Amino acid sequence: MSRPVRFQTLLRDPTSAARRGRLITPHGTVETPAFMPVGTQATVKGITPDHLAASGTVMLLANTYHLALRPGEDVVARMGGLHGFMGWDGPILTDSGGFQVFSLAARSRLSEGGVAFRSHIDGRLLELTPERAIAIQEALGADITMCLDHCPALPATKEAVADAVGRTVHWAGRCRDAHTRPDQALFGIVQGGHHADLRAECAEALIKLDFDGFAVGGVSVGESREQVREALAVTTHHLPEDRPRYLMGVGRPRDILDAVATGIDLFDCVLPTRNGRNATCLTDRGLVKLRNASHRLDPGPIEDGCPCLACCNFSRAYLRHLFLAKEMLGPILASIHNVTYLHRLTRRIRQAITEGRFVPLRAEVLEALGP
């Protein structure tokens, strides 16, 4: 069967489960492991498409729930789909709205049929069933779409997590049946909390539905770092080698390294732009807080050797001034730097896998980052 996206495993690290791959989509090829900036409302906050491309971005993510509310998927479709609407010609992945079941629990009502939200904008009702989630994503026109899933809030009893797994698998079947666009891939999402047996059960059930790829959901929502690593190792062990693996909502450097070690290929997170808006920058030596008085007369860049727009042109002293003066250029430049940093990190990871030295690289990066 011809698939709208194809995944090729190019190399495997000899001493871990890390792998280097290639994801081929209708709008371009993505070398993996790769990080995807989040463009929730058809924009990565504060960064133009040209600056995204210059930062090393190849693929990004947009949000089904938010775009269905505003401007509406019909508007996006009439304006040429997400690619034409936001001026981005590279691959795009849309989430299903499933994370909002978790993050907007106070505004939602869950049932076996789906989930009903009260809009955070105007209070109107949005009913998101598996079929509706697929219809919205088909109108948005992303290269990769996601099944609607149930991500339970933690702490939760094992019974509650098992209930969410059953609902996730049931909804995944309905999503697959509703999916009609041959040029869009559809990924299933593995839930199960930190319970190895539930993760395995969910993965095996989704594999039988033969999705184009698989995402790992329900991590970094309250578990310890060790529980997250165990959940990833269990999940990827059960997933097929010939399909891409996507870890949802993870962007801290140490978490990316942990996940790559278990065989994850794709990541997304709001962290680089959210940190950037708050004057916090990612570097090989840890976080740099640009508002700190120590940068008042600092002529150096955020990080030596970084090729981003901020580091090539501006000092820490100037960037600190922008934030203290509440000038919008400060968050823009810091966000560009952070996105560039994560792409630099994933390029280093890919090169290390190629050279068979991912494990030493991981240790080196973690040591430099510090506690």
Q: Two tokens at 363? A: 């240790």
The CB density around residue 20, as the number of other CB atoms within 10 Å, is 22
The answer on pLDDT for 222 being more than 80 is no
Is 89 annotated as catalytic? no
pLDDT in tens, 61-100: 999 999 999 999 999 999 999 999 999 999 999 999 888 8
* CATH number of 7-269, picked from 1.10.260.40, 3.40.640.10, 3.40.50.620, 3.20.20.105: 3.20.20.105
* HEC assignment per residue over 223-246: CCHHHHHHHHHHHHHHCCCCCCEE
pLDDT, average across residues 219-228? 78
Catalytic residue among 95, 149, 212, 265: 95
The answer on pLDDT for 221 being more than 80 is no
Catalytic residue among 177, 210, 268, 284: 268
Quote the mean pLDDT of the chain. 96
Q: Can you give the pLDDT at residue 1?
A: 66
pLDDT in tens, 279-336: 999 999 999 999 999 999 999 999 999 999 999 999 999 999 999 999 999 999 999 9
| Region(s) of the chain under CATH 3.20.20.105 | 7-269
CA distance 371 to 369: 7
pLDDT in tens, 106-127: 888 999 999 998 988 898 999 9
Nearest to 59 by CA among 209, 246, 239: 246
- Residue 325: exposure state from Cβ atoms within 10 A (0-12, 13-18, ≥19): exposed
The answer on pLDDT for 223 being more than 80 is no
Is 268 annotated as catalytic? yes
The answer on pLDDT for 220 being more than 80 is no
Strands 92-95 and 144-146: parallel
